[in-house]
Amino acid sequence: MAAAFAITSCGDPNESAQTPAEALLDRLAGLVEEGKIMYGHQDDLMYGHSWKLADDATEYVQSDVYATCGQYPAVYGLDLGGIELGNKANLDNNIFDHMRASVVAHHERGGIVTFSWHPRNPLTGGDAWDVSSDQVVASILPGGEKHEYFMGWLKNAADFLESIKTADGETVPVIWRPWHEHTGSWFWWGQKLCTTEQYKALWQMTYDYMVEERGLDNLVWSYSPGAGELSSPEVYAERYPGDEIVDMVGFDCYFYSTREDYMNKMKNALDITVAFAKEHGKIAAVTETGYEGIKDPKWWTEVLYETLKDYPVSYVLTWRNACDAHMQHHFYGPFPEHESAEDFKAFAALEDVMLL
């Protein structure tokens, strides 16, 4: 059952009670059943390796993935970092109004959207990576000195997620993936920065506010530890916030050294995640992955696809293609001039790989 289904309908009992989140979950389950793996790319419609959306843009058609293979990614990832402060643009300079409008455009093309969140540090004022204090989660939980302040941040995030509507007023469902990579200790909500109880309480507080208090019915809740720390299924399960408030389970896993190292790390995380998903009745996904700079011309078919092909995962999302001059090395998706472009086309053309 969708976690978001906690909302009960008071309307006509004959009316369909399916929420936008439930409709999305059904669609995800159906695609997994068909054996499809959707390809996803972070920030795909906002910028690419050598272009950036104009501030006054009114349509969202440019995409490195589309330029490479003639199809859009099925899954479009975005990040809410910066919404907490009421900023006009997120931490990677994407204007929130463009993010919202591009999500609607992607949804209307038949695509699926996922949001992560790299919020700033509510205790120190630093960024999401500021791990100078291990009291941050404690400070924002009920009774903590920053609780009220942080609830304002949740309100800003909820306001944005609730505001994503089509011209007909239909709220667009999204996969919502807060508090990610918590098995590592590089974000203020990470492993060494809070206790298991505090981490779970953070999830519960987030869910209670957004779903129970605000009534958001368009969120599919996704849990995603970092793959590098998954030494056992117990580690995966340790901080799992609970079946009632999670709909999807995944992990984030990056390529750092060799094909073998990456494939082993992926297969270990896939084994653990897919078994966990089965046991808990959830949908599995590779919520983030990639090889920075893709220094392997056959990475898509011989490494990524080869690793994934036998697992029932809903989607695999590669991280962003940064466009800033000093970040030209920071790309994880294809673009036409890259040496892996031909291989990406072959990957995108595979029967079980889905793009739009």
Phi-psi region of 93 (alpha: psi -120 to 50; beta: other; left: phi over 0): left
Q: Least CB distance from residue 168 to ligand BMA, whole Å?
A: 31
Q: Are 354 and 38 in contact (CB under 8 A)?
A: yes
How near is the Cβ of 278 to ligand BMA at its closest, in Å?
A: 29
For position 95 contacting ligand BMA by CB under 6 A, the verdict is no
Instruction: Kindly state the smallest distance separating residue 130's Cβ from ligand BMA, in Å.
Output: 14
Place of tokens 């996803």: 40
Which residue lies nearer to ligand BMA by CB, 176 or 319?
A: 319
Least distance between ligand BMA and beta carbon 140 (Å): 20
DSSP H/E element including 319: none
41 near ligand BMA, rule: CB under 6 A: no
Contacts with ligand BMA by CB under 6 A: the residue count is 6
Torsion angle defined by CA atoms of residues 187, 191, 197 and 201, in that order, rounded to the nearest 10 degrees? 20
Which residue's entry shows tokens 């909820």?
Answer: 158
CB nearer to ligand BMA: give 115 or 240: 115
The answer to whether 79 contacts ligand BMA (rule: CB under 6 A) is yes
Q: How far is the CB of 11 from ligand BMA (least distance, A)?
A: 39
One residue of 64, 84, 92, 296 binding ligand BMA per CB under 6 A? 92
Name the β-bridge partners of 79.
116
- State whether the Cα torsion 187-193-199-202 is positive or negative: negative
Choice between 92 and 217, CB closer to ligand BMA: 92
| Shortest Å, Cβ 208 to ligand BMA | 26
- Nearest approach, Cβ of 30 to ligand BMA (angstroms)? 30
Q: Is 320 in the site for ligand BMA (CB under 6 A)?
A: yes
Burial 129-148 (b: 16+ CB within 10 A, else e): eebeeebbbbbbbeebebee
How far apart (Å, rounded) are the C-alpha atoms in residues 272 and 83?
33
Question: Minimal CB distance to ligand BMA: which residue?
Answer: 79
The two tokens of residue 326 are: 């000093």
By C-beta, is 62 or 93 nearer to ligand BMA? Answer: 93
| Footprint (CB under 6 A) of ligand BMA, residues 102-131 | 118
Residues 6+ apart with CB under 8 A from 306: 263
Per-residue buried b or exposed e for 16-49, using 16+ beta carbons within 10 Å of the residue's own CB: eeebbbbebbeebeebbeeebbbbbbbbbbbbbb
Closest to ligand BMA by CB, 130 vs 170, is: 130
Nearer to ligand BMA, 118 or 345 (CB): 118
Specify the residue, 36 or 177, whose C-beta has the smaller distance to ligand BMA.
Answer: 177
Tokens 């590098």 sit on residue: 228
Hey, what amino acid is at 273? Answer: T
**CA-to-CA distance for 45 and 63, rounded, in angstroms?**
5
Q: Is 84 in the site for ligand BMA (CB under 6 A)?
A: no
Query: Binding of ligand BMA at residue 91 (CB under 6 A)?
Result: yes
CB 66 within 8 A of CB 91: no
Is residue 252 at the binding interface for ligand BMA, with CB under 6 A as the rule? no
Contacts with ligand BMA, residue ranges (CB under 6 A): 79, 91-92, 118, 319-320
